[in-house]
Structure formats: C-alpha cells, structure tokens
C-alpha cells in the first residue's frame, strides 16, 4: 500500500510535462504508486474507485503524448478523472468530495486542465466536436482535442450523433479514446457492446495473419509503379491486389464499423500496456484527423476486492477497509432504493404486465431483484434515457405497464420524450426517480433537484412524493394503477427514517400529520399551514414543534400526490394566516409555486412562502451541510416564519434579485 512518507515519482509530478522525463520502467512504477494512492485515499473518503484504477496507463499516456491544456482533454462523465487530477497538480485527496475539498469530477475552478464539469454520460464527443471546430475557426488547426469515453457511454445515442459530425471533417484533430472495459456501471449491453466484444475476440484469432498483411504491403510497394504504368491491365491488377489487402486487413483488425463512418481506427490495444498505449496515441496524433483509439481495460485493475466484485467492480464506494474492500460504518436501516426494490418485485409477481426499464443502472436503482425473478420483464437499454422513455410509450401502447427507474438528475435527458411521447399520448408509464433532491458529494450535476419544477407543466402528469417506507409502497402501487397518464414517484438518496403515521387522511388522499394548538375562537383560523413535500415531512414536524413552543398554532399536511394539487390543501390554506411549503427541489416553479397558482385560481389570498433550494448549481458537500447553507433547517425556518407572522420580510425565501415581499 501507498505510504504517506515515501517519496516516489508521484510526488515529483506537478504538471503533465513532468511525465515526459520518466523512463519506461519508471512509468510502470508510477502507475503502481497511483493505484496504491487511489486505494489508500478513496477508501478513506469514498468515491469512484474502480473506474479510476482502470484508466491509469491511459491517462498517463494521454498526458505524455499530448500537451494539456493547449490540447483539450475531456473525460466522459468525469468520474474517471482522478488520475488526471493527480498529474495536473492536485494530490491532496484527504477531503475528496467533501465540502471545500476536491470535486469527484473535473472542475474548472480547480485547474485549467479541466473542461467539462457535467457528470452526465455520452456528451464528451459533442464537446470534442465543438472545441475542435472552434480551434479550426480560430486558425489553430494544430491543436488536438482528446475525448476519453467508456464503451458504456457509447450506448448513448448522443455520442453517435457527435461521431457522425466529427467524421465528416477529415482535417480536425480529434482523438476519441474508447476505454473499453465491458461495463458502464454494470456490464455494457446492446449491439455496440457486442460489436466491441467481437473486435477483441477477432483480434486474438487474427494476430498471426499480420505477416500475410505485410506480404501484400511489400508486393504493392515494390510493384506499384510498374503495375500502374502498364496500361489498363496493370492498373486493374493493382486495384485487385489493393482490394485483397483491404479485405485481409479487415480480418486482422476488424474495424469496419469505424472506417465506414469515415474515421481512422487504432486498436484494439492493451490499455494497461504503457508502451502500447503511447504508441497508439502517437500514431493517432500523426493522422492529424479524426481517430478512434480502442483500448481494452479492466475496471478495478490491480485491486483484488474490486476485481472480485461481479456486480460493479467498486464503481463507487463509501468508506472501506483498504485491505479487504469491506465497507466501514455502514448505516443501519433500509434505503429508499431497497424499499422500492422489494415492492416493485412484489408488484411484478402479482401483475404480468409490469415491465422494468433501466438505463445501465440495474443495481443502483433497485431493479435487480425483479430482474432475477422475471428476467424477461426487465430491460436495460444502456445509457439511453431518451430511448428508455419513448420506448416505454410503445410498451404501454402494446398493453404493458413500464416502470422506468432513473436517478432524478438523469430525467432531464428524457424530458422531451416524457412530454411528447408519453404525456401527449396519455401513456400509462410510471417513472421512478431515485436520488431526488440533494444527493451530496457528487455535486452539481448529480443533485436531483430539478424534477419538481420540470414536471409541473406536463399536462395530465401525476407526481407522488412519499415521506417514508409505508407511503413509498403505497404510492408506487397507486402509480402503476394509472393506465391513461404518466405517473412519477420520487424519493431521496439514503436511509429511510421511521414511518410517520397520519392523524387523518382527507378524502382526496392528503394526509394530516400534525395539528398543534387551538384555532382562534372567533375566526376559527390557525396560524401556519406547513405543507411537507415527501421526505421534508420530518423537517416540517420539527418546525411545528418549535412554533408551538413560541405559542404559534400550526397544521402539518403531506399532500402525498403533489400533482395535481389536492383541493384539500387549497381549502386548508384558507383557514390559516400563512402557508409555508417545504420542498427539496428548486423554489422557482416548484410545488410551492404551483400551490400558489391553485390558491389564486380558487380565490384564496393567504400569504405563501416557498422554502426550498435556490435555482443555483450547488457544489459538493454533505446533505446536512447543503441544507444548512440553503436555510432548510428547523431553526432557520422557524425564525423566518415567526418573523413573517410579525410582518417582517423573509429574505432567504426569495430568489436572488427578486423584490422583497412582506407578509400579509
């Protein structure tokens, strides 16, 4: 294992250019140092371990052959950028993915070597297309753009849209490094994955035919001038030999798919052979045009616990024992994902029309138990959320009820299909959004905080936000019972708390959770109506207790289904001095805004305060730290609610730049 006090090659690397001074044997030692460093540090903080262990030689090779930042290096999804960080001057991994520490993804504020911060897959090649076009337009045609993309990300259609455009221009210097480890999160699926596997098998079978290929090369080279200058017959013979050479070459290196697209192809190569990697990259550089470099790698390379993990090879880990790979301090209790996994499997047992759909995340979203019980009724489409949702509209048309399980942040990618393919056609499709709201250490592009606003204006859509395990099970069953409209069930990351029983269920399904103090004897009015969206229920109950201590009466209600807004919530608002809506999505256009509109339509003029997340990209930190920073705490909400009741302004509940509001 890596030792903090050992002065090795890694500590002497402060910029990519420093790598060029190392010999071949020293590079091998450096690669081992880096793997030891990653295991030691990522096991202490958590993070993406397996992917980074698999790209050590690739990353080192890229930085030895190309000249970052003049040459742009892009990492698809970015979770495989830890080695890149280490050789670009960022070796303090003690607070990786923690507040104030290094991001788990590229981040421009950290380094000039970082370009793409988004951690959504399959977009790197579009960036490469745009950057290389800009270089060309700027008259900088000698600059290279290098994109490192996994075979899993190549299951995303957006990547092929970019390839189609990159291949059309032979003069732009784009190098696409395919990190082919046979996996995205789990094993890669689909036709392209099968093709990549065939390339590897074919390579092994045809290596001995390279000599034959060289023989034709020599024949062509020696006889080229004679044949081409010998009239029509000689030219025909030359063309025939050239055609035979091309056919043999396709047997030796079966690269037809890529060359048919108009791109040079180098590989497959052993992505852990430093010399082979650099030789391939140098060859790609010499082409001075669009090139595919196909590297075969192992996820979790060099770390036995990761290699032994058949599920995800330590794609992402929490704190673990670096020697054994066993998790440390595992949380007690069930996760939201685990509850969904149990319930959807039971529903599928009961209903043969239930079909699970996932985008390369069978295990993370909880569809594995259903897949094991009903293998023909769970579909993994790869990293292709647009396709997943549009395809589900077709499944619904055919009489099935698809349940599409996604991370909430990835719903953004399939929004058009949800609107135009599912909702427009009133398709009975259920979308389950895992990791909604604040997710914590993965940062801005992984927070699932946009869905409550994105979904508000989709006609006919029903949106549920369960507060605990019992309501998750209940609302999931209610969702799959709807066959003439899209339904969405969303819940956060982490462990489910204790069930929160309702005092009363109103006739339209909203749950009354608490009612503190007595209503005004003359008006029958209470002070505060707290509307808790899903997992914000414990926070709302905590605020109610604090308000009661201050002599303020309150009512806590969980709408359960926040779209459409239950009429009982609007009616209850009429009997309170103010309404406070607590949600873990952005305030702009969120549930609070929707309730305000419904109140206005009903002629209810009670003041309403939306409490949620700001419409900003929130950096990585723990969920608790982010709630503290954004005012989502019992103390802050209580203080500002009391201030509002007394007629003072509530500054934290406004978006930046919005005019102040006074309570009524």
245 and 159 share a domain? yes
Q: Residue 656 pLDDT more than 50?
A: no
Query: Sign of dihedral through CA atoms 508, 510, 513, 514?
Result: negative
pLDDT band for position 653 (cuts 50, 70, 90): very low
Residue 301 among the catalytic residues: no
Q: Residue 243 pLDDT more than 70?
A: no
Domain boundary pick from 490, 518, 550: 490
In a domain, 322, yes or no: no
Bind-site residues for Mg(2+): 151, 181
Report the candidate in 607, 602, 528, 526 with the shortest Cα–Cα distance to residue 567: 602
248 and 298 share a domain? yes
Q: What is the CATH number of the domain that holds 523?
A: 3.40.50.920
440 and 357 share a domain? yes
Q: Name which of 140-154, 369-383, 384-398, 591-605 the model is least confident about.
A: 140-154
Q: Name which of 154-158, 369-373, 575-579 the model is least confident about.
A: 154-158
177 and 243 share a domain? yes
In a domain, 636, yes or no: yes
Q: Residue 323 pLDDT more than 90?
A: no
Catalytic residue among 90, 249, 413, 435: 413
Q: Residue 657 pLDDT more than 90?
A: no
Q: What is residue 212's predicted lDDT score, i.e. its pLDDT?
A: 39
303 and 371 share a domain? no
The domain in which residue 138 lies consists of: 10-308
465 and 348 share a domain? yes
In a domain, 294, yes or no: yes
Tens digits of per-residue pLDDT, 97-116?
888 888 888 889 999 999 99
In a domain, 343, yes or no: yes
pLDDT band for position 309 (cuts 50, 70, 90): confident
Bind-site residues: 79, 119-121, 151-153, 181, 303, 385
Q: Residue 583 pLDDT more than 70?
A: yes
Number of domains the chain is built from: 3
Burial of 78 (0-12, 13-18, 19+ CB in 10 A): buried
Q: What is residue 306's predicted lDDT score, i.e. its pLDDT?
A: 80
Strand 511-516 and strand 504-505: the pairing is: antiparallel
350 and 251 share a domain? no
Q: For residues 357 and 447, which has the higher predicted lDDT (pLDDT)?
A: 357
Q: What is residue 253's predicted lDDT score, i.e. its pLDDT?
A: 42
139 and 288 share a domain? yes
Residue 385 among the catalytic residues: yes
Assigned token pair, 466: 């369960």
Taking residues 618-630, report their average pLDDT: 91
Q: How does DSSP classify residue 418?
A: I
Q: For residues 300 and 32, which has the higher predicted lDDT (pLDDT)?
A: 32
Q: Name which of 1-15, 168-182, 230-244 the model is least confident about.
A: 230-244
Catalytic residue among 299, 368, 473, 587: 299
Strand 145-150 and strand 72-75: the pairing is: parallel
Q: For residues 167 and 348, which has the higher predicted lDDT (pLDDT)?
A: 348
In a domain, 573, yes or no: yes
pLDDT band for position 198 (cuts 50, 70, 90): low
Catalytic residue among 33, 57, 343, 385: 385
The backbone torsions φ and ψ at residue 73, rounded to the nearest 5 degrees and listed phi first, read -110, 125
440 and 512 share a domain? no
Assigned token pair, 270: 């052993």
Query: Rounded to whole angstroms, what are the CA distances from 290 to 65, 132, 164, 285, 341?
Result: 16, 10, 11, 9, 44
Q: What is residue 185's predicted lDDT score, i.e. its pLDDT?
A: 47
pLDDT band for position 654 (cuts 50, 70, 90): very low
Specify which residues 488 forms β-bridges with: 431, 463
Q: What is residue 51's predicted lDDT score, i.e. its pLDDT?
A: 87
Q: What is residue 202's predicted lDDT score, i.e. its pLDDT?
A: 54
Between the ranges 214-228, 236-250, 419-433, where is the mean pLDDT highest?
Answer: 419-433
In a domain, 321, yes or no: no
Residue 299 among the catalytic residues: yes
Q: For residues 255 and 538, which has the higher predicted lDDT (pLDDT)?
A: 538
Edge to edge, the sheet with strand 430-434 lists: 378-380, 354-358, 401-407, 430-434, 487-490, 462-464, 561-563
In a domain, 22, yes or no: yes
Q: What is the CATH number of the domain that holds 405?
A: 3.40.50.970
**Average of per-residue pLDDT values in the chain:** 85
Please state the pTM of the whole predicted model: 0.82
pLDDT band for position 226 (cuts 50, 70, 90): very low
Assigned token pair, 80: 């495989």
In a domain, 317, yes or no: no
% the chain with pLDDT above 70: 83
Bind-site residues for thiamine diphosphate: 79, 119-121, 152-153, 181, 303, 385
pLDDT band for position 330 (cuts 50, 70, 90): low
Q: Residue 193 pLDDT more than 60?
A: no
174 and 63 share a domain? yes
Q: Residue 373 pLDDT more than 60?
A: yes
Q: Residue 419 pLDDT more than 90?
A: yes
């Amino acid at each position: 294992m890596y030792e903090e006090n050992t002065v090795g090659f890694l500590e002497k690397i402060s910029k990519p250019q420093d790598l060029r001074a190392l010999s071949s044997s020293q590079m091998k030692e450096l690669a081992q140092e880096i793997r030891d460093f990653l295991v030691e540090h990522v096991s202490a903080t958590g993070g993406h371990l397996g992917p980074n262990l698999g790209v050590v030689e690739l990353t080192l090779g890229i930085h030895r052959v190309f000249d970052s930042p003049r040459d742009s290096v892009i990492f698809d999804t970015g979770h495989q950028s830890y080695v890149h960080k280490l050789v670009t001057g960022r070796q303090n991994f003690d607070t990786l993915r923690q507040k104030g520490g290094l991001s788990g993804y590229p981040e421009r504020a950290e380094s000039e070597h970082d370009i793409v911060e988004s951690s959504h897959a399959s977009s790197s090649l579009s960036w490469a297309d745009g950057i290389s076009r800009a270089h060309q337009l700027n008259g900088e045609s000698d600059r290279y753009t290098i994109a490192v993309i996994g075979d899993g990300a190549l299951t995303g259609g957006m990547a092929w849209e970019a390839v189609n455009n990159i291949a059309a221009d032979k003069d732009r210097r784009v190098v696409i490094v395919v990190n082919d480890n046979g996996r995205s999160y789990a094993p890669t699926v689909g036709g392209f994955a099968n093709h990549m596997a065939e390339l590897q098998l074919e390579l092994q079978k045809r290596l001995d035919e390279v000599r034959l290929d060289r023989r034709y090369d020599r024949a062509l080279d020696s006889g080229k001038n004679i044949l081409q200058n010998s009239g029509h017959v000689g030219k025909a013979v030359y063309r025939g030999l050239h055609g035979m050479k091309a056919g043999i070459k396709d047997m030796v290196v079966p690269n037809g798919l890529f060359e048919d697209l108009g791109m040079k192809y180098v590989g497959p190569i052993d992505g852990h052979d430093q010399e082979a990697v650099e030789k391939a990259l140098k060859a790609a550089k010499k082409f001075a045009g669009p090139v595919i470099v196909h590297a075969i790698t192992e996820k979790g390379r060099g770390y036995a616990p990761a290699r032994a993990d058949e599920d995800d090879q330590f794609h992402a880990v929490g704190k673990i024992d670096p020697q054994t790979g066993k998790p440390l301090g595992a949380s007690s209790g069930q996760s939201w994902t685990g509850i969904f996994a149990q319930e959807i499997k039971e529903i599928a047992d009961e209903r043969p029309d239930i079909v699970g759909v996932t985008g390369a995340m069978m295990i993370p979203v909880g569809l594995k138990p259903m897949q094991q019980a009903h293998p023909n009724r769970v579909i993994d489409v790869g990293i292709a959320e647009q396709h997943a949702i549009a395809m589900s509209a077709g499944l619904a048309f055919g009489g099935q009820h698809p349940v599409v399980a996604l991370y909430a942040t990835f719903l953004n990618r399939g929004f058009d299909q949800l609107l135009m393919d599912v909702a427009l056609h009133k398709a009975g499709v259920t979308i389950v959004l895992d990791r909604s709201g604040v997710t914590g250490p993965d940062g801005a592009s992984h927070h699932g905080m946009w869905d409550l606003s994105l979904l508000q204006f989709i006609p006919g859509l029903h949106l549920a936000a369960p507060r605990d395990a019992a309501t998750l099970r209940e609302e999931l069953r209610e969702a799959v019972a709807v066959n003439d409209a899209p339904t969405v069930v969303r819940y956060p990351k982490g462990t489910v708390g204790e069930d929160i029983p309702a005092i009363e269920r109103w006739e339209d399904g909203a749950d009354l959770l608490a009612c503190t103090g007595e209503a005004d004897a003359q008006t029958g009015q209470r002070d505060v109506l707290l509307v808790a969206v899903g997992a914000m229920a414990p926070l709302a109950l905590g605020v109610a207790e604090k308000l009661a201590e201050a002599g303020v009466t309150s009512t806590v209600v969980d709408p359960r289904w926040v779209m459409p807004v239950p009429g009982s919530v609007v009616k209850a608002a009429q009997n309170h001095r103010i309404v406070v809506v607590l949600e873990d999505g952005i305030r702009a256009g969120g549930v609070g805004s929707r309730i305000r509109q419904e109140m206005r339509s009903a002629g209810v003029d009670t003041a309403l305060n939306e409490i949620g997340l700001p419409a900003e990209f929130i950096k990585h930190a723990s969920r608790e730290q982010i709630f503290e920073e954004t005012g989502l705490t019992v103390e802050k909400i209580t203080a500002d609610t009391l201030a509002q009741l007394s007629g003072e302004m509530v500054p934290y509940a406004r978006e930046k730049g919005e005019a102040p509001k006074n309570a009524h």
